[in-house]
């Protein structure tokens, strides 16, 4: 009896493996078919930014770049929350799905200050949590 159970178990494993292989090959074929149109669409995708520039449309900035632009126009130190509010008002940046953009911006600013040093687009203010534009930009 134990041999029959082993044989039945082995047959089930073989059937499962065969089913898994056929499902994987079908998935591979399904993934291979859409790949060709994507390669054809890529030249069109490259043409869109050129068309947007020709039409004079503004491209959306990253949060860090938008904050640097807002800070460069400001004469006073700003905190991250205020920089985000101003960037939204001026249409430089639109929020995504993130729940804490202030914390993300703060982290990115601190990382840029650490990595770039004097060449960074931000510098710390004496006020806690506030930043200024670099001395050379103001």
Residues 20-68: pLDDT tens digits?
Answer: 666 666 655 555 555 444 444 444 444 444 444 444 456 678 999 999 9
* CA–CA dist 125, 106 (Å, integer): 13
The predicted structure's pLDDT at residue 25? 63
- The set of residues, in sequence order, having a beta carbon less than 8 Å from that of 90 and lying 6+ positions away, is 70
Task: Measure the CA dihedral 115/89/59/84, to 10°.
Answer: 20
Q: Rounded to whole angstroms, how far apart are CA atoms 25 and 55? A: 46
Element (H, E) at 124: strand 123-124
What does the pLDDT read at residue 114?
A: 97
Same domain membership, residue 128 and residue 90: yes
Q: Tokens 């178990």 identify what position? A: 9
Q: Structurally, how many domains does the chain consist of?
A: 2
pLDDT at 60: 78
Residue 7 vs residue 92, higher pLDDT: 92
Q: Does residue 19 form part of some domain?
A: yes
Residues 54 and 74 in one domain: no
Query: Which has more pLDDT, 74 or 6?
Result: 74
pLDDT confidence bin for 135, thresholds 50/70/90: confident
Largest CA distance in the chain: 88
- Assess whether 2 and 54 both reside in one domain: yes
Does 123 map to a domain? yes
* pLDDT of 87: 96
Alpha carbon dihedral 101, 106, 111, 112, in 10-degree steps, equals 90
Question: Quick one: CA torsion of 18, 19, 22, 24, rounded to 10 degrees?
Answer: -110
Q: Which residue range is the domain that position 102 belongs to?
A: 63-132
Is residue 137 assigned to a domain? no
pLDDT digits (tens, 9 = 90+) for 74-118: 999 999 999 999 999 999 999 999 999 999 999 999 999 999 999
Q: Which of 14-18, 33-37, 121-125 has the highest average model confidence (pLDDT)?
A: 121-125
Is 138 inside any structural domain?
A: no
């Amino acid at each position: 009896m134990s041999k029959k159970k082993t044989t039945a178990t082995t047959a089930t494993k073989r059937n499962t493996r065969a089913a898994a292989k056929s499902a994987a090959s079908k998935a591979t074929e399904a993934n291979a078919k859409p790949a060709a149109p994507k390669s054809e669409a890529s030249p069109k995708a490259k043409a869109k930014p050129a068309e947007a520039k020709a039409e004079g449309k503004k491209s959306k900035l990253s949060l860090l770049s938008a904050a640097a632009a807002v800070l460069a126009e400001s004469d006073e130190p700003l905190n991250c929350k205020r920089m985000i509010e101003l960037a939204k008002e001026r249409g430089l940046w639109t929020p995504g799905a993130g729940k804490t953009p202030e914390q993300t911006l703060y982290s990115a600013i601190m990382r840029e200050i650490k990595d770039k040093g004097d060449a960074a687009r931000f510098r710390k203010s004496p006020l806690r949590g506030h930043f200024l534009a670099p001395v050379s930009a103001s």
